[in-house]
Structure 1
Amino acid sequence: MSAYVGLDMVMLEIRPGSASDREWIYRLRHEVYAHELGQHPPNQAERLSDALDDGNVYIVAAHGDRPVGFISVTPPWTGRYSIDKYLSRAGHPVLDREDLFEIRILTVDPRWRGSAAAPLLMYAALRWVAAHGGRVVAALGRTEILGMYLAAGLTGTGTRVHAGAVTFEVLSGQVSELAERTRRHHGPLLRALEPRVRWSLEMPFLPGPPACQHGGASIGAVGRRFGSLPARDDVVPADVLDAWYPPAPAVVELLGGDQGWLVRTSPPAYPEGLIEEIAERRDLPPDSVATGAGSSDLIFRAFCGWLDASSRVLLPDPVYGEYAHVVEQVIGCRADRFPLRRADGWRPDLDRLRDALRERYDLVVIVNPNNPTGVHTDAGDLLRVIADAPGGTRFWIDEAYVEYADSGQSPSPSQSPSQSPPPSQSPSSPQSQSQSSQSQSSPSSSPSLERYAAASGNTVVCKSLSKMYALSGLRAAYLAGPAELAAESRRWGPPWGLSLPAQIAAVHALRDPDYYAECWGRTRALRSGLAERLAGLGADLRVHESAANFALLTLPRSGPTAAGLVAACRRDGVFLRDLSPLSPAFEGRTVRITVRDPDANDRVVTTVATALDRLRATP
């Protein structure tokens, strides 16, 4: 890219191709690929398009109001690629993937060749693919300019195809590797270029730090250094799966007591008391339990201890993004994806999963209910899959939101529930008519697998206390599994890893099961009401009511994008989560909306309705 900088000091705009750009694009394609290169015969209309244009995404470079170049991305949800015209992808494993993005037709007006237009368009295509969950790209690179593609990090496959007088080589690349190469080789240059580029795409010009991208942008309302704490009351944080209800009354009372003592006093170096409380409440052997400062602490600790670069891991797709980040970016091992499909209601095909497990995996991750699809799978069905897996396969089952999918009944008297009153406000909402994953299994037949895991030799269950018990700000979680694996996790954790307020809060939260059972039941009622009202915003919208504390809203392909809706709502103080970066399965059209209290849910629905009206009216 650096070879092009300085050749044009004018500002270029990089923007989505509009309907009005199409005629210019088709005519430039004809000029270049018919007249100049001889790939296609000239035609009387002097314009060149193809059958993929209905699904292609065009990105345009413009100087002022005048386009000067473009690039096209064919996403996997179009169902076909230009490469299919020349070869069988089944015979080329690097191309035979359901999540492949094809970058094609990089074209620059002859008067602008040698400018920064071409490398900026290639960079923009990569940013677009990454923002839509892409992991692998393919391209047909003209052999005479092959060096430009190779310099960008694409790898030649050695396969060449011919179209008229033009010869192309089939190129491919891992998106994460291309992004890292770009950051490493061109980061300073891109930062210098940023003020000279008018970047009008929905994703930022520069990517964030090389870490997993989560929701929770709403916390930015209080300022990076927390100097605007009152501003938290002005936003609706429906972009992160924190509980909408407060912790149990005893927790609030204890944390609000001698705060000076809580802050200045060191916690127990190892949280034996909390482990004992978890073991008693969950009927688990204490040596099968390990605690951590949230689920992510336990994930990093266990995975980095169990896996190395030679390991193989199976991940659902879509799934909580931290898993892929730890496996691929931190540890650097191979992760295969087990695809979940919108057409199946995001339900995992367990027969297909059994078939996938015939290959030997070191670790299989299952999130139940799955985040971000919200589907809950019956525990008995999962046990049968685990039983059929080859020996040596280890399972990690994440149950961060499992209580939302349960019956919501109070635990048995043997668990000594406290007598604290439940929340006083009770929502009343009609039964949602939107798609509900609750119908997939009987809640009462879907308990946690933590007791099974403790007695097993190959299964670990990870449970978050942060989300279900309204302790996200304190960070607390535990895992249950074979004693030797729990001991490893405890050994790999640092002393004082769980703060004193977190330990106190977790212990006393676990002692009030009635309070939380009521909160979880109310959350299910609020979720149904939110899903029904969202579904009523338009017949072209698809709403999926999850088995956790959120709903998914999917926009039509012909309408606004998820990123556009998220940005429009954020301007009005309502934060939603664009799921596009997690997986191409979302097609850039799905947002996740967390259940909040009744007033906040009202504001969410009103803001989404207003934003959709505004976006639909924008040409």
Structure 2
Amino acid sequence: MTDLRLRPDLDALPSYRQGKAAPTEAADGPVFKLSSNENPYPALPSVATAIADLLSGINRYPDSSAADLSGAIAARYGVDTSNVVLGSGSVEIVSQLMRATAGPGDEVLFAWRSFEAYPMLVRAAGAESVHVPLTAEHRHDLDAMAAAITDRTRLIIVCNPNNPTGTTVSNAELVRFLDRVPSDIVVVIDEAYQHFNEQEDAPTGVELFRRYPNVAVAHTFSKAYGLAGIRVGYAIAPEPLAQAMRKVALPFGVTSLAQRAATASLEAEAELQVRVDALIAERARVLGALTAGGWRLPESQGNFIWFPLGDDTAAAAEILERHGILVRPFPGEGLRATIGEVEANDRLVAAAGELAAAGITGGLVAVAV
């Protein structure tokens, strides 16, 4: 018992669950962590060197304006630095967007299931979440989202590609939706997995930012750039919104090491693209192998695959773990498996065959493996 006066509305809020940590070895070999959508490649050598060169100065505070990184991002996308807002990963960027737009009595609207941190961040901002179910194909139902807008709606999130399903919306679909959203409601396009999106007619968030005065874009260096452990993300937002976001941002939230690593990563994008292409090719290989084995899964444009297994989810996750594969289960809905090292992906495909043979498929497998 405690006499401390805490917010009672937090009692119903689950804590964010990080992907399960992997021991280095299991009984039959290494264990692979495919539960957190991490990039299996280490930082690019040039990025690691850039970070190492700063270590002697970590006794000093970082540049709170992050001028070098903000300038590099602005140059990369052809926007003004006043439109660039930095944060400790895109999670903190989304949190800034919520706290800058919504408060008690306001609503934040998004598809569900989507990124599991959204409801937690909304509650922390004091606002209310409005969940709009995905379609039967695990995609955003933009018509239903438009219909769910009320006079209390302050922020709408479109996660594209969507986490954890990997599904996308097309440019035409998104433009049609944005045309229906009142101009005083902010729409943020969360493009954490944009580098992996090869969908035909894929929207480009920054182009929509140029076209619509109420659109912001959230990006991260955690996924394609492989900087998840250093925590840096950014928004490109209309200037009034960007100013409001800075007011609620954590002071010195982006460290000197993060700023330098991100800047160096932007300078090495050609080298980075080689790794992105390899992960996309590996995603295609894994999905092809699963399809050949009888699985019928949503087409993913992220660096992960979604298995909508329903009530079979927990049993499937346990079997995969026995095979040294840690995935992210969402009980009663499905599990998400990151595209990792080739050996990890081979194990995932092999273990999926065991799931099918055991009938643990959520009704997804047309032909037993």
Shared fold (TM-score greater than 0.5)? yes
* Distance (whole Å) between structure 1 residues aligned to residue 180 and residue 308 of structure 2: 35
Cα pair distance change 1:490/1:358, threshold 3 Å: closer
Q: Which amino acid aligns with 2:131?
A: R
The structure 2 residue matched to 1:284, chosen from 64, 79, 83, is 79
| Aligned 1:166-565 pairs, distance under 5 A | 180=11, 211-218=14-21, 221=23, 234-255=30-51, 257-258=52-53, 260-261=55-56, 263-327=58-122, 329-342=123-136, 345-357=137-149, 361-406=153-198, 438=199, 442=200, 445-453=201-209, 456-537=212-293, 539=294, 541-555=295-309, 561-565=312-316
Match of 2:317 in 1: 566
CA distance in 2, matches of 1:511, 1:363: 33
What residue in structure 2 maps to residue 592 of structure 1?
336
Greater CA radius of gyration, 1 or 2?
1
Measured after TM superposition, the shift of residue 263 of structure 1 is 4.5
The one of 340, 346, 365 aligned to 1:602: 346
371-380 or 396-405: bigger deviation: 371-380
SS of the aligned residue for 1:593 comes to strand
Q: Residues 283, 564 of structure 1: CA spacing in aligned structure 2 closer, same or farther, 3 A cutoff?
A: same
Match of 1:579 among 314, 327, 330: 330
Q: Runs of 5+ in structure 1 lacking a partner?
A: 1-175, 182-209, 223-227, 407-437, 581-587
C-alpha displacement of 1:589:
5.0
Mapping 1:86-125, distance limit 5 Å:
none
State how far apart, in whole Å, the 2-side matches of 1:259 and 1:286 are: 24
Q: How far did 1:610 drift?
A: 4.1
Pick closer, same or farther for the CA change 1:497–1:360 going to 2, 3 Å: closer
The Cα of 1:217 is off from its aligned counterpart by 0.8
TM-score normalised by the chain length of structure 2:
0.85
Q: Deviations over 1:459-511 (max 9, x none)?
A: 21111111121100101100011111112222322332111221111001011
Read off the aligned partner of 2:304 and give its amino acid letter. F
Question: Structure 1 CA distance, aligned partners of 2:310 and 2:146?
Answer: 33
User: Could you tell me how far apart the structure 1 residues matched to 2:289 and 2:330 are?
Assistant: 21
Q: Offset at 1:253? A: 2.8
Greater relative contact order: 1 or 2 (C-alpha under 8 angstroms, separation 6 or more)? 2
* Partner Cα separation in structure 2 for residue 480 and residue 508 of structure 1: 19
Q: Which amino acid counterpart does residue 600 of structure 1 have in structure 2?
A: A
Distance 1:299 1:352, change over 3 A: closer
Give, in whole Å, the separation in 2 of the partners of 1:331 and 1:268. Answer: 27
In structure 2, runs of 5+ residues without a counterpart are 1-7, 361-369
Between the aligned residues of both structures, percent identity stands at 25
Write out per-residue CA displacement over residues 257-290 of structure 1, whole angstroms, 9 at most, x where no aligned residue.
4474164453223311110010011111110000
Of stretches 528-537 and 465-474 in structure 1, the one that deviates more from structure 2 is 528-537
Give the letter aligned to residue 19 of structure 2.
Answer: G
- Equivalent residue letter for 1:237: K
> Per-residue deviation at 1:554?
3.4
Secondary structure of 2:297's counterpart equals: strand
Aligned-partner Cα distance in 1 for 2:53–2:131: 49
Q: Distance in 2 between matches of 1:524 and 1:377?
A: 18
* CA offsets 1:203-242 (integer angstroms, 9 cap, x no match): xxxxxxx5443341125x38xxxxx9xxxx9321111111
1:319 counterpart letter in structure 2: S
Letter in 2 for 1:379: N
Q: Secondary structure of 1:390's match?
A: coil
Change (3 A) 1:454 1:484: farther
Pick closer, same or farther for the CA change 1:591–1:362 going to 2, 3 Å: same
Q: CA deviation at 1:336?
A: 2.1
Instruction: Check 1:348–1:492 CA distance in 2 against 1; reply closer, same or farther (3 A cut).
Output: closer
Q: Against the structure 1 CA distance between its residues 499 and 234, is the aligned structure 2 distance closer, same or farther, given a 3 Å change threshold?
A: farther
8 Å contact from structure 1 (residues 283, 451) kept in 2: no
Distance 2:64 2:185 in 1: 33
2:218 is paired with a residue whose SS is strand
Q: How many residues align?
A: 352
